[in-house]
A and B are shown apart, each in its own frame.
Chain A
Amino acid sequence: MQGPQATTADPMSDLYQQLIVERARAPHRAGVLEPADGGAEGDNPFCGDRVQVTVRLGADGGVAESRHRTRGCAICTASADLMAESVEGLQRPAIASLYERFGAMLQSGESGTTDSLGLLAAFRSLHEYRSRIRCATLPWTALLDAMSEAAGPGSGRKDT
């Protein structure tokens, strides 16, 4: 008698794609901006992962620069890094829309929605690893909080 079967995908080729492993090992956007216009932390109490995101805004209110300091797994670190790169030049509505499409892809694994996701499409197979989806979204919640702080009352450049 066999129970319901999980898939047999090989995580070394589908989940841990070269881009993800490389960015986890040597992130391009690691660090903390000082001064910054906004900053926030995301915590996952289940695994102790923590992402700190800082942003600096351009004259148009879009992200001029974003950095992350991540203590987490490969998925979380690579997601923070590819996020920081992907949102440069984007204003808040565009970031929210990107995150929405990213989240939809993580839920469905649908490649149809990934065209506009660029590098973020590397996480497509995460939908097969449901317990790991939070690892990829944690940096985004921190980024959106950092953007809110940057836009909020009393906002302005701070030394973090």
Chain B
Amino acid sequence: MNEMSAVTLARPGLTGFEALRDDFPILSQTVHGKPLVFLDSAASAMKPAQVIDAMSDTMRTQYANVHRGLHWMSERTTDAYEGVRDKVARLLNAPSRDEIIFTQNSTGAINLLAHSFGATLARGQAVVISEMEHHSNIVPWQMLRDRAGIELRVARVTDAGELDLDHLAELLADGRAGLVAVTHMSNVLGTVTPAAGIARLAHAHGAKLMLDGSQAVVHRAVDVQALDADFYVFTGHKLYGPSGIGVLWGRTSLLETMPPFLGGGDMISTVSFEESRWAELPHRFEAGTPAIIEAIGLGAAIDYVQAIGFDALQAHEADLTAHALARLQAIEGLQVLGHAADRGGVISFTLENAHAHDIATLLDRNGIAVRAGNHCAEPLMRRLGVNSTARASFGLYTTKREIDLLAETLEQVRVFFA
């Protein structure tokens, strides 16, 4: 394996996306003496200096609690925090900034929805998810099912790794489903789901649609109005922003019917011991001091990706993904899971005779970070008939040379375990 260290990743005359690598300080780190090749962005992406600086500048120069102080620092910090709500609204093309609710992450957003939208569902109604959901879009609905007598239905995934729309239609046919909650892009298979079509199907049967955009929002321009979704969630740390901040977008007409999730400061207009009145949207759903610094970091991340542009991001990723699929599928005994027509830069695979953990360990010692395991999607693993897979996922800083290095090292792993 030692000859691998001879492959150098830096090359003079960088253009386009390669030049952006300089924005990510961590990419110059070495791991086990090798240049870091970070192919685990679907788990969490690295952060550009713009995000790091926005957060540290906040703490160095302009910080106080939001929405409460009558002093200069608090007013400026409130402006910065609320400004991010406008940025998120533009990112998703939401009709109103008041429909943007900050949460801790996608998991927090889905739990909020399961609690508060769940409270508007009647016993005997159903929530429909799919076989390719992340645990965070399964467990909150199971908890709702067990608490409120809601039926949980699961739409199948085809062998190609696509959502089985015929089965989804069957599950909606009796009109009892109040919500379809599915991923917009699979964190295991890379499959991008036909969101607008799912919305039409759901609405035709009287159900609302929540899209888990944790992966999709990183790779695609998202327009919640064009998709005709009812709720959309994502998490900041996969979008080159910090951890600790996520988003729930929902239509005003729906959010207004939903009871609050957490109670506390910021989410009320008046409080007495007899009763409290809820604040207006979006604050009704943001109890307590929010993740102020993280929200500001998310704002910087949104500025960063929008300055590049999603057309360019998507084209870059399509190019990397096509290259990676060609290189990986050329390896004897390597099996890529799923082959959806519309897919993003997340590739799960198995290698004959080599377990995903052994693959990940050997890659790691060559500086290559991939994920191995069940990817928080145990039911999907079972559906696909595997216990664990290795997963390579790409960010805007990923290069073809890194993918080549992955393929070359996998070839050595294959020979080693053959």
Q: Contact residues of A with B, CB < 8 Å?
A: 1-3, 5-12, 15-16, 21, 25, 45-50, 71-75, 129, 132, 135
* Inter-chain CB contacts under 8 Å: number: 68
Q: Are A47 and B361 in contact (CB under 8 A)?
A: no
Complex formed: what's the CA distance from A3 to B365 in Å? 16
Complex formed: what's the CA distance from A19 to B35 in Å? 30
Q: Are B358 and A74 in contact (CB under 8 A)?
A: yes
Checking B33, B358, B365, B416 against A73 with a beta-carbon cut-off of 8 angstroms, the contacting residue is B358
CB distance from A42 to the nearest CB of B (A): 14
Q: Are A47 and B365 in contact (CB under 8 A)?
A: no
Most B CB within 10 A of own CB, among A10, A16, A25, A73: A73
Query: Are A6 and B32 CB-contacts (below 8 A) given A72-B355, A75-B358?
Result: yes
Number of B residues, CB within 8 Å of A: 26
Q: Are B365 and A10 in contact (CB under 8 A)?
A: yes
Checking B33, B353, B374 against A8 with a beta-carbon cut-off of 8 angstroms, the contacting residue is B33
Q: Contact residues of B with A, CB < 8 Å?
A: 1-2, 25, 29-33, 353-358, 361-362, 365, 372-374, 378, 381, 387-388, 416-417
Q: Are A47 and B358 in contact (CB under 8 A)?
A: no
Query: Are A48 and B388 CB-contacts (below 8 A) given A8-B32, A74-B355?
Result: yes
Please, which residues of chain A bring their CB within 8 A of the CB of B378? Answer: 45, 48
Q: Are A47 and B31 in contact (CB under 8 A)?
A: no
Please, which residues of chain B bring their CB within 8 A of the CB of A50? Answer: 387
Please, which residues of chain A bring their CB within 8 A of the CB of B387? Answer: 47-50, 71
Checking A12, A72, A74 against B1 with a beta-carbon cut-off of 8 angstroms, the contacting residue is A12
Please, which residues of chain A bring their CB within 8 A of the CB of B388? Answer: 47-49
Please, which residues of chain B bring their CB within 8 A of the CB of A12? Answer: 1, 362, 416
8 A–B pairs (Cβ distance < 8 Å), ordered by A: A1-B25, A11-B362, A21-B416, A47-B357, A47-B387, A48-B388, A49-B388, A73-B355
Complex formed: what's the CA distance from A115 to B182 in Å? 55
Complex formed: what's the CA distance from A72 to B353 in Å? 11
Please, which residues of chain A bring their CB within 8 A of the CB of B29? Answer: 2-3
Please, which residues of chain A bring their CB within 8 A of the CB of B372? Answer: 47
Q: Are A5 and B361 in contact (CB under 8 A)?
A: no
